[in-house]
Amino acid sequence: MDVKERFLKYVTFDTQSDEASATVPTTAGQLVFAEYLRQEMVALGLTDVELCTDGYLYATVPATVSHGVPAVGFIAHLDTSPDMSGRGVRPRVVEGYDGTDILLCAAEDIVLSPDRFPELLAHRGEDLIVTDGHTLLGADDKAGVAEIMTAAAYLMEHPEIPHGPIRIGFTPDEEVGRGAAHFDVEKFGCAWAYTVDGGEVGELEYENFNAAAARVTARGRNVHPGYAKGKMLNALLALQAFLAQLPAEETPAATEGYEGFYHLTSMEGGVEQASCSLIVRDHDRSGFERRKSFLTECAARLNAAYGEAVISVELHDQYYNMREKVEPCMHIVRLAAEAMEAVGITPHVKPIRGGTDGAQLSFRGLPCPNLFAGGLNFHGRYEFVPVQSMQKAVQVIVRIAALAARGAAGTEPI
């Protein structure tokens, strides 16, 4: 199978993760997909194939150079985002995209248009894989999985390519922040690795957000509204007052680049009790700490105004900026950039406005920059991935494997 065929097969698996679940993995579909991949790995002849009960899948492309070559890892995640359904994905290939609107669903007039998504125009003439408008596509990160598997198949078919051990790791539950939680770094056995979980062709990332989740709860008093004067305390209004303190210009829709934000992700409740969930993001560690402190200060101000403890804030850190762990070994970023240039891609080094498993793994001793996987508009019905972008990602993975072996036993990359 080529990378397109693999991807079209992989997206048929429902692997949406579930933040509310306490199991590992959080959904059974991820194990079903992992077992399919395990069987494929065995059929390809990969070694050290191991599927753990918690959904982590490991394998090795055996080295073709026996001495002095480091093991290099490539990692992708099995799950898709809870933001939109990944069940019953029906992908469609738009061959030779002509730059016009793409009708995803005629009955509901769902259109993928360059007027709203101008990034489409950079892929005129290419073959785009799109949704039918009712689910996400799953390029995040089944494109990465397909690219790693296709590169592994290519290396197995071409033993003349010099490379050391190539380790593969597929993780569950990345989309709910738990992808690296049970990853066995010691068993993986690499000095460094790459997640293949980025977007547009050429993206190369070794900086990401510092990230925290916040749960804000307002507790009120409910009495009959006809007799409520001086007695009722409406938790919904208290929560509204809390959210009104957050700067309107510091939301995802108003920020870019290195700018951080507060993002309201859900809210629910009634007069007696109301709550909301937010995520807090900032590339700068000191700015990140200030943002968290600001939330607790907002609560304290309101509690002082009410004269009682109405608002409470629970915060927990999710991951940190991997830059501090990657900068001491920048040769691994330069190696990836060289691989891209070797296959005709201009590297675009940029910060991730999000996170990957690599962020947490970097802090556990496995420096892990992020490579492009080619998909765009992740997590929703307008997601798409150009086939040519996936093909380029395969080439980059193969080239990295060869470049890492350069100089060992007189080898040179092909």
Residue 282: what pLDDT?
97
CA torsion angle for 131, 355, 391, 134 (degrees, to 10)?
Answer: 0
Arithmetic mean of pLDDT, 317-331: 94
Average pLDDT over residues 133-154: 97
| Stretch 107-128: mean pLDDT | 97
Mean confidence (pLDDT) of the chain = 95
Distance CA(8)–CA(88), nearest Å, equals 12
Helix (H, G, I), strand (E, B) or coil at 374: coil
Q: Give me the pLDDT at residue 409, please.
A: 45
Residue 66 has pLDDT above 80, yes or no: no
Assigned fold of 210-319: Alpha-Beta Plaits (3.30.70)
Q: How confident is the model at residue 356, as a pLDDT?
A: 83
Task: Indicate if the pLDDT at residue 407 is higher than 70.
Answer: no
Tell me the DSSP string of 306-372. HTS--EEEEEEEEE--THHHHGGGTHHHHHHHHHHHHTT---EE--BSS--HHHHHHTTT----EEE
Average pLDDT over residues 191-216: 96
- pLDDT-above-70 percentage for the chain: 98
Please tell me the distance from the alpha carbon of residue 171 to that of residue 54, in angstroms, as a whole number. Answer: 9
> To 10 degrees, the CA torsion angle through 100, 129, 335, 401?
-150
Cα–Cα distances in angstroms (integers) from residue 99 to residues 165, 183, 281, 308, 343, in the given order: 42, 42, 34, 59, 25
**Mean pLDDT for the stretch of residues 184-206:** 96
Q: What is the pLDDT of residue 177?
A: 84
Helix (H, G, I), strand (E, B) or coil at 179: coil
Output the pLDDT for position 410.
46
- 3-207+321-410: in CATH 3.40.630.10: yes
Contact indicator for 140, 11 with CB cutoff of 8 Å = no
Strand blocks (E) in 185-260: 192-198, 203-205, 210-219
Over residues 217-269, the pLDDT tens digits come to 999 999 999 999 999 999 999 999 999 999 999 999 999 999 999 999 999 99
- 103, 120, 131, 145, 376 from 11: Cα distances, Å: 20, 21, 10, 10, 15
Task: Point out the least confidently predicted range of 1-15, 196-210, 304-318, 398-412.
Answer: 398-412
DSSP H helices, 139-205, are 139-157, 185-188
Please tell me the predicted confidence (pLDDT) of residue 272.
97
- Predicted confidence at residue 91, as pLDDT, reads 98
Which residues, in sequence order, are CB contacts of 78 under 8 Å at separation 6+? 15, 25, 30, 33, 34, 37, 55, 57, 141, 145, 170, 171, 172
User: What pLDDT is attached to residue 408?
Assistant: 52
User: Could you tell me the two tokens for 286?
Assistant: 């000191």
Query: What pLDDT does residue 19 have?
Result: 86
Q: What is the pLDDT of residue 413?
A: 46
Query: Can you give the pLDDT at residue 213?
Result: 94
Q: Report yes or no on whether pTM surpasses 0.85.
A: yes
Distance of alpha carbon 366 from alpha carbon 352, whole angstroms: 18
pLDDT the model gives residue 136? 97
Contact 46, 150 (CB under 8 A): no
Inform me whether the pLDDT recorded for 355 exceeds 90.
no
**Mean pLDDT confidence for 363-387:** 97
Domain ranges of the chain: 3-207+321-410, 210-319
Positions annotated as catalytic residues are 79, 174
